Amino acid sequence: MPRFDADYVPRSAMAIYAHPDDIEFTVAGTLAKWARAGCEVTYILITSGNAGTHDPALTRKALTRLREEEEREAARIAGAKRVVFLRRDDCELAPTLPLRKILVRQIRKYRPEAVLCNDPQALFFGDQYVNHPDHRAAGQAVLDAVFPCAEMRLVWPDAGRPHKVHAVYVSSTHSPNTWIDVAGTIGTKLAALQAHRSQLGDRDLSPRIRGWARDEASRAPARRAGGKGKGRRPEYAEAFRVMRLFREDVPPES
Ligand SMILES: [Zn+2]
């Protein structure tokens, strides 16, 4: 039975996020690490960030093209196998039934063992950032699609064969229970993030991203290699609330 602890590498993973650059800001270190270890990684972007500019020269269409190119480049750097764009409008996401069905279709099509998404309950970070409504809506829609709809035979049979997701890795959460060591891929994460030139310009976010990953690592429980010696924490980590949905008494259909 899969353990889904900090060392676990799923055979396949699907990251479903609202905007191009969300994956790179949050979970790309973990995905790059898993991809290197042979995991088949799929990115699903619900919007293409087609409102994400203050440049009066850019139309929604031009911005979509630009940001999808940037996301494809970021995914290539991280070793993802595919990127799917669902092209909903930026800043207008809501966890509706139609969106849930669209996500169920993607989950049933690519059949990931693990799904990654935002925590829909995280509203405030510190005292300067209110979590984007699209991030919360995306997180809610993903969780609702994963459980129970994607695995229910009688729910939307026209959206594909039922699929049981084994674990959900919820990121940007205030209640993490798993810290993944990303010391080996923090550089890859930063390179992937820098692909989003329309958002970052020439800003170097490396100090900020490394600082976040160091803060997360400091909260991780100290672990002993092979159960021996002194416990140690990783230098850099990404934190998740991992929900283990697979139960041995309910075998998945696959
Ligand atoms: Zn975002």
Separation CA 28–CA 82 (nearest Å): 14
Q: pLDDT tens digit string along 148-183?
A: 999 999 999 999 999 999 999 999 999 999 999 999
CA of 22 to the centre of ligand 1 (A): 5
CA of 98 to the centre of ligand 1 (A): 21
CA of 90 to the centre of ligand 1 (A): 9
CA of 227 to the centre of ligand 1 (A): 39
CA of 158 to the centre of ligand 1 (A): 30
CA of 193 to the centre of ligand 1 (A): 12
Contacts of 44 (CB under 8 A, 6+ apart): 14, 15, 16, 17, 83, 84, 86, 103, 106
Q: pLDDT tens digit string along 84-120?
A: 999 999 999 999 999 999 999 999 999 999 999 999 9
Under a CB-based contact definition with an 8 Å cutoff, are residues 78 and 188 in contact? yes
Query: What pTM was estimated for this model as a whole?
Result: 0.94
CA of 21 to the centre of ligand 1 (A): 7
CA of 248 to the centre of ligand 1 (A): 36
